[in-house]
């Protein structure tokens, strides 16, 4: 940090006006009345009271913010559009002995979401096979090809997690071949939902849950509560214990942190309590991955999720076998967990090398053309054979470097098709821009 004598129109924070990287330091504004109310009602010191006020936490919300509990903040599952229909369809299939498969995204949130469902089914005495598409050959999310494969493999019901909400064409194909689908997602979607038995998404237009900051793993946790309620109503726990979903809060927390979600409300509760569950390191996969990374077990923190566990779980989907993360998080076999963890740790080392090479090439290409320095709202850079599994991470690094939205595209020199990923700055909804480009026919 260095004080450059002040910035015109900007008051310094703790006597410092700029960081070493040149970014302005500003004291986030907070209403004095709200700060005083926090101090008086909750006995807080002024810095903490001001911090709460500056984050929009009102005096009546401070207790839940500082000491979040599931009892106070767990939402009614029925407040999610289609949640009751999803629970009914899944328990119907379970009771009828139908073949249910989970279709997951290949990142941490997708793996955690799949593992949550697998563990609930296992507690109910049933298997739940996992299908994760290959990033290179199948791309992101559900596809007609994937549903054909699942149908041919005997699937009666597919539950998509962390994907599917915008896969209208693929789900129309699933319906055409007689394959039932339930969608559990949190991503932006079109106004017209895909054709499915249920589409559960707190960011679905018309959903009144108010839980739009949840990662998919958080939505799945609520689904498990709905499944318990549905199964309880049918008497399915007369001879079997009801699954205690609190034991799997570590997986929900992992998804919340690694998907960089807003930690407020219920999402804050599940994350804080989930880190407490994670601290016991009872999940064989998480424990094995921690050991493979050379880290010591102890109280789990967000840094464990974001910088130790998350990158290694992601490595499977980025440059390795896409289902490794979901298998690791769902296994109860310590031997299998150790093998999978070692493979993911090795893949993470390889991922770093691939990522470094693409970052260097992308910087050279952008700076040679001046794309990073012009007045454009976004930097778009592309290169042949840039691995599609790392373009998102590279875009994030370049966004930090240039402080503007960045899209990085890896071009296939054989078919000429590019697969890209972007990272944005606050104030620009890049997801909606991509959706608009697709609607305009610019993107495949």
- At 3, the pLDDT band (50, 70, 90 cuts) reads very low
* Residue 189, pLDDT above cutoff 50: yes
- At 269, the pLDDT band (50, 70, 90 cuts) reads very high
- Does residue 8 sit within a domain? yes
**Chain centroid, CA 250 distance in Å:** 14
Residues 313 and 190 in one domain: yes
* pTM of the entire predicted model: 0.91
Q: Which residues pair with 182 in a beta bridge?
A: 159, 198
- Does residue 354 sit within a domain? no
- Does residue 425 sit within a domain? yes
Going by C-beta distance under 8 Å and a sequence separation of 6 or more, which residues neighbour residue 23? Answer: none
pLDDT for 1 equals 39
Q: Are the beta carbons of 89 and 198 closer than 8 angstroms?
A: yes
Going by C-beta distance under 8 Å and a sequence separation of 6 or more, which residues neighbour residue 184? Answer: 86, 113, 159, 160, 161, 162, 164, 200, 201, 216, 219, 220, 223
> How are beta strands 406-411 and 418-423 bridged, if at all?
antiparallel
Residues 15 and 38 in one domain: no
Min mean pLDDT across 83-92, 146-155, 254-263, 426-435 is at 426-435
DSSP tally for the chain: helices H, then strands E? 18, 8
The Cα–Cα gap between 33 and 319 comes to: 52
Residues 123 and 253 in one domain: yes
CATH number reported for the structural domain that contains residue 176 in this entry: 3.90.1640.30
Q: Which pLDDT tens digit goes with each residue over 340-361?
A: 999 999 999 999 999 999 999 9
Residues 392 and 421 in one domain: yes
Instruction: Give the gyration radius of the chain's Cα atoms.
Output: 23
- Does residue 359 sit within a domain? no
Q: Which pLDDT tens digit goes with each residue over 36-75?
A: 999 999 999 999 999 999 999 998 999 999 999 999 999 9
Rounded to a whole number, what is the distance in angstroms from the first to the last CA of the chain? Answer: 45
- Does residue 417 sit within a domain? yes
Going by C-beta distance under 8 Å and a sequence separation of 6 or more, which residues neighbour residue 325? Answer: 106, 107, 108, 110, 111, 313, 314, 316, 317, 344
Going by C-beta distance under 8 Å and a sequence separation of 6 or more, which residues neighbour residue 179? Answer: 147, 150, 151, 155, 156, 157, 158
Give the residue, 136 or 423, on which the prediction is more confident: 423
Q: Which pLDDT tens digit goes with each residue over 167-181?
A: 999 999 999 999 999
* Domain count along the chain: 4
Q: Which pLDDT tens digit goes with each residue over 303-327?
A: 999 999 999 999 999 888 899 999 9
Domain range for 189 is 77-345
- Section 7-30 average pLDDT: 74
* Residue 221, pLDDT above cutoff 90: yes
Residues 291 and 155 in one domain: yes
Residues 265 and 307 in one domain: yes
* Residue 2, pLDDT above cutoff 50: no
Q: Are the beta carbons of 404 and 425 closer than 8 angstroms?
A: yes
- Section 377-406 average pLDDT: 93
Q: Are the beta carbons of 330 and 114 closer than 8 angstroms?
A: yes
Residues 279 and 298 in one domain: yes
DSSP letters along 227-244, please? HHHHHHHTTTTSSSPPP-
- Does residue 364 sit within a domain? no
- At 12, the pLDDT band (50, 70, 90 cuts) reads low
Residues 288 and 207 in one domain: yes
DSSP letters along 134-148, please? -TTTT-SS--HHHHH
CATH number reported for the structural domain that contains residue 401 in this entry: 3.10.310.30
Residues 151 and 20 in one domain: no
Residue 282 vs residues 6, 139, 257, 312, 416: alpha-carbon distances, Å: 51, 33, 19, 19, 47
Q: Where are the alpha helices (DSSP H) in 157-307?
A: 168-176, 216-233, 249-258, 265-278, 284-292, 302-303
pLDDT for 191 equals 83
- At 28, the pLDDT band (50, 70, 90 cuts) reads confident
Mean pLDDT of the chain: 93
Of 119, 100, 59, nearest to 330 by C-alpha is: 119
Q: Are the beta carbons of 278 and 302 closer than 8 angstroms?
A: no
- At 369, the pLDDT band (50, 70, 90 cuts) reads confident
Query: 357-360: long-range contacts (C-beta < 8 A, 24 or more apart)?
Result: 358/383, 358/386, 358/387, 358/390, 358/391, 358/394, 358/408, 358/410, 359/394, 359/397, 359/398
Q: Which pLDDT tens digit goes with each residue over 99-130?
A: 999 999 999 999 999 999 999 999 999 999 99
Residues 21 and 168 in one domain: no
Q: Count of CB atoms within 10 A of residue 134's CB?
A: 13
- Does residue 86 sit within a domain? yes
Q: Using N-to-C axis directions, what is the helix angle for 216-233 and 108-123, rounded to 10°?
A: 20
- Section 77-96 average pLDDT: 98
- At 11, the pLDDT band (50, 70, 90 cuts) reads low
Number of C-alpha atoms within 13 angstroms, CB side, residue 410?
A: 21
Highest mean pLDDT among 27-31, 46-50, 217-221: 217-221
Residues 86 and 144 in one domain: yes
pLDDT for 143 equals 96
Buried b (16+ CB within 10 A) or exposed e, 255-292: bbbbbebebbbbbbbbbbbbbebbeebebbbbbbbbbb
DSSP 349: H
Residues 228 and 273 in one domain: yes
- Does residue 355 sit within a domain? no
């Amino acid at each position: 940090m260095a004080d450059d004598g002040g910035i015109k129109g900007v008051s310094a924070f703790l006597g410092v006006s700029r960081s070493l990287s040149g970014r302005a330091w500003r004291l986030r504004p907070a209403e004095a009345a709200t700060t005083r109310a926090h101090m008086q009602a909750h006995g807080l010191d002024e810095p903490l009271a001001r911090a709460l006020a500056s984050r929009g936490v009102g005096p009546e919300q401070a207790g839940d913010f500082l000491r979040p509990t599931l009892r106070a903040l767990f939402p009614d599952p029925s407040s999610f559009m289609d949640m009751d229909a999803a629970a009914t369809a899944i328990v119907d299939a379970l009771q009828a002995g139908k073949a249910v498969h989970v279709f997951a995204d290949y990142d941490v949130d997708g793996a955690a979401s799949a593992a949550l469902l697998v563990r609930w089914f296992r507690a109910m005495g049933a298997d739940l096979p996992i299908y994760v598409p290959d990033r290179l050959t199948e791309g992101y999310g559900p596809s007609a090809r994937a549903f054909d494969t699942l149908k041919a493999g005997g699937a009666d019901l597919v539950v998509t997690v962390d994907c599917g909400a915008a896969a209208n064409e693929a789900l129309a194909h699933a319906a055409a071949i007689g394959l039932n689908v339930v969608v559990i997602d949190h991503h932006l979607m079109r106004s017209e939902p895909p054709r499915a038995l249920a589409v559960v998404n707190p960011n679905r237009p018309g959903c009144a849950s108010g839980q739009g900051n949840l990662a998919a793993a958080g939505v799945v946790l609520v689904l498990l509560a709905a499944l318990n309620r549905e199964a309880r109503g049918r008497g399915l726990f007369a001879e079997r214990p009801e699954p205690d979903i609190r034991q799997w809060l570590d997986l929900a927390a992992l998804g919340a942190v690694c998907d960089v979600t807003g930690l407020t409300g219920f999402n804050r509760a599940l994350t804080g309590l989930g880190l407490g569950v994670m601290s016991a390191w009872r999940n064989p996969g998480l424990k094995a991955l921690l050991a493979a990374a050379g880290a010591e077990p102890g109280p789990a923190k967000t840094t464990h999720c974001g910088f130790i566990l998350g990158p290694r779980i992601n490595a499977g989907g980025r440059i390795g076998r896409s289902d490794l993360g979901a298998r690791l998080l769902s296994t109860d076999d310590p031997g299998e967990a150790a093998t999978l963890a070692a493979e993911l740790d090795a893949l993470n080392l390889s991922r770093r090398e691939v990522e470094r090479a693409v970052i260097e090439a992308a910087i050279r290409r952008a700076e040679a053309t001046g794309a990073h320095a012009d007045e454009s709202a976004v930097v778009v850079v592309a290169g042949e054979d840039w691995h599609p599994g790392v373009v998102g991470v590279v875009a994030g690094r370049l966004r930090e470097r240039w402080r503007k939205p960045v899209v990085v595209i890896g071009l296939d020199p054989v078919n000429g098709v590019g697969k890209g990923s972007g990272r944005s700055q606050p104030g620009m909804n890049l997801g909606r821009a991509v959706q608009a480009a697709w609607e305009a026919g610019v993107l495949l």
